[in-house]
Amino acid sequence: MSKSLQDQLLALGVADKKKVKQARHEKRVTSKEVTGPRIQESLRETQRKVLEEKRMRDQALATEREAKRLKAEKLSQVRDMVKSNEVGRGIESERVDFRFPYGKKIRPFPVDADIRDRLSRGILGLIEVD
Protein backbone atom coordinates (compact mmCIF):
# COMPACT_ATOMS: atom_id res chain seq x y z
CA MET A 1 0.00 0.00 0.00
CA SER A 2 1.16 3.45 -0.73
CA LYS A 3 1.53 5.99 2.00
CA SER A 4 -0.46 9.22 2.08
CA LEU A 5 1.16 12.43 0.92
CA GLN A 6 1.41 13.64 4.49
CA ASP A 7 3.21 10.47 5.56
CA GLN A 8 5.60 10.76 2.60
CA LEU A 9 6.38 14.43 3.38
CA LEU A 10 6.90 13.53 7.02
CA ALA A 11 9.28 10.70 6.08
CA LEU A 12 11.29 13.03 3.81
CA GLY A 13 11.53 15.61 6.56
CA VAL A 14 9.75 18.35 4.63
CA ALA A 15 6.94 18.50 7.21
CA ASP A 16 6.98 17.85 10.93
CA LYS A 17 4.38 16.13 13.12
CA LYS A 18 2.95 19.43 14.33
CA LYS A 19 2.15 20.62 10.78
CA VAL A 20 0.62 17.23 9.87
CA LYS A 21 -1.58 17.33 12.94
CA GLN A 22 -2.62 20.92 12.18
CA ALA A 23 -3.47 20.03 8.54
CA ARG A 24 -5.60 17.05 9.65
CA HIS A 25 -7.38 19.24 12.17
CA GLU A 26 -8.15 21.93 9.54
CA LYS A 27 -9.37 19.29 7.10
CA ARG A 28 -11.69 17.80 9.72
CA VAL A 29 -13.06 21.24 10.72
CA THR A 30 -13.73 22.29 7.12
CA SER A 31 -15.45 18.99 6.31
CA LYS A 32 -17.73 19.36 9.34
CA GLU A 33 -18.65 22.93 8.39
CA VAL A 34 -19.66 21.97 4.88
CA THR A 35 -21.86 19.03 5.82
CA GLY A 36 -23.04 20.02 9.27
CA PRO A 37 -24.41 23.43 10.16
CA ARG A 38 -24.69 24.82 6.62
CA ILE A 39 -26.88 21.99 5.39
CA GLN A 40 -28.90 21.90 8.58
CA GLU A 41 -29.36 25.65 8.41
CA SER A 42 -30.56 25.51 4.81
CA LEU A 43 -32.91 22.64 5.71
CA ARG A 44 -34.29 24.61 8.62
CA GLU A 45 -34.74 27.64 6.38
CA THR A 46 -36.54 25.54 3.75
CA GLN A 47 -38.77 23.95 6.39
CA ARG A 48 -39.54 27.37 7.86
CA LYS A 49 -40.53 28.69 4.41
CA VAL A 50 -42.73 25.67 3.73
CA LEU A 51 -44.45 26.02 7.11
CA GLU A 52 -44.95 29.76 6.57
CA GLU A 53 -46.50 29.16 3.14
CA LYS A 54 -48.77 26.47 4.58
CA ARG A 55 -49.84 28.78 7.38
CA MET A 56 -50.65 31.54 4.89
CA ARG A 57 -52.67 29.13 2.70
CA ASP A 58 -54.55 27.81 5.74
CA GLN A 59 -55.28 31.34 6.92
CA ALA A 60 -56.59 32.36 3.47
CA LEU A 61 -58.75 29.23 3.34
CA ALA A 62 -60.13 29.89 6.80
CA THR A 63 -60.97 33.48 5.86
CA GLU A 64 -62.70 32.30 2.69
CA ARG A 65 -64.69 29.66 4.58
CA GLU A 66 -65.73 32.20 7.20
CA ALA A 67 -66.91 34.62 4.49
CA LYS A 68 -68.93 31.85 2.82
CA ARG A 69 -70.45 30.86 6.14
CA LEU A 70 -71.44 34.45 6.96
CA LYS A 71 -72.96 34.93 3.50
CA ALA A 72 -75.01 31.74 3.84
CA GLU A 73 -76.09 32.73 7.34
CA LYS A 74 -77.27 36.18 6.19
CA LEU A 75 -79.12 34.68 3.23
CA SER A 76 -80.84 32.24 5.58
CA GLN A 77 -81.87 35.10 7.86
CA VAL A 78 -83.30 37.04 4.90
CA ARG A 79 -85.23 33.98 3.72
CA ASP A 80 -86.67 33.50 7.20
CA MET A 81 -87.64 37.19 7.42
CA VAL A 82 -89.33 37.11 4.01
CA LYS A 83 -91.13 33.86 4.82
CA SER A 84 -92.42 35.16 8.17
CA ASN A 85 -93.69 38.47 6.66
CA GLU A 86 -95.19 37.02 3.49
CA VAL A 87 -98.56 38.41 2.46
CA GLY A 88 -100.94 36.34 0.33
CA ARG A 89 -102.00 37.56 -3.10
CA GLY A 90 -105.73 37.37 -2.35
CA ILE A 91 -108.50 35.35 -3.90
CA GLU A 92 -107.59 34.24 -7.40
CA SER A 93 -110.86 35.40 -8.99
CA GLU A 94 -110.46 38.95 -7.59
CA ARG A 95 -106.84 39.48 -8.68
CA VAL A 96 -105.76 42.43 -10.80
CA ASP A 97 -102.32 43.02 -12.28
CA PHE A 98 -99.86 45.21 -10.45
CA ARG A 99 -97.27 46.25 -13.01
CA PHE A 100 -93.75 46.89 -11.80
CA PRO A 101 -90.33 47.41 -13.41
CA TYR A 102 -88.11 44.33 -13.42
CA GLY A 103 -84.77 45.04 -15.06
CA LYS A 104 -85.57 46.72 -18.39
CA LYS A 105 -89.08 45.28 -18.63
CA ILE A 106 -92.42 45.95 -16.98
CA ARG A 107 -93.79 42.79 -15.37
CA PRO A 108 -97.36 42.05 -14.21
CA PHE A 109 -97.92 40.65 -10.71
CA PRO A 110 -101.48 39.46 -10.03
CA VAL A 111 -102.77 40.57 -6.59
CA ASP A 112 -106.15 41.67 -5.20
CA ALA A 113 -107.15 45.36 -5.27
CA ASP A 114 -106.30 46.09 -1.60
CA ILE A 115 -102.76 44.74 -1.92
CA ARG A 116 -102.32 46.55 -5.24
CA ASP A 117 -103.20 49.87 -3.58
CA ARG A 118 -100.77 49.24 -0.72
CA LEU A 119 -98.03 48.30 -3.21
CA SER A 120 -98.62 51.45 -5.27
CA ARG A 121 -98.53 53.67 -2.13
CA GLY A 122 -95.29 52.01 -0.97
CA ILE A 123 -96.72 50.45 2.18
CA LEU A 124 -95.92 46.98 0.85
CA GLY A 125 -93.01 45.96 -1.34
CA LEU A 126 -92.02 43.13 -3.60
CA ILE A 127 -88.87 41.19 -2.92
CA GLU A 128 -87.11 38.41 -4.77
CA VAL A 129 -84.76 36.11 -2.89
CA ASP A 130 -82.33 33.97 -4.88
Instruction: Name which residue leads in pLDDT, 10 or 26.
Output: 26
**Contact partners, residue 98, CB within 8 Å, separation at least 6:** 108, 109, 110, 111, 115, 116, 119, 120
Amino acid at 53: E
Whether the per-residue pLDDT at 73 is higher than 70: the answer is yes
pTM, rounded to two decimals: 0.52
74 touches 80 (CB < 8 A): no
Q: What pLDDT shows up at residue 80? A: 93
Mean pLDDT (the chain, rounded): 85
Q: Give, as one character, the DSSP assignment of residue 94.
A: G
CA distances from 71 to 59, 68, 76, 112 (A): 18, 5, 9, 35
> What are the residue ranges spanned by the domains of the chain?
88-130
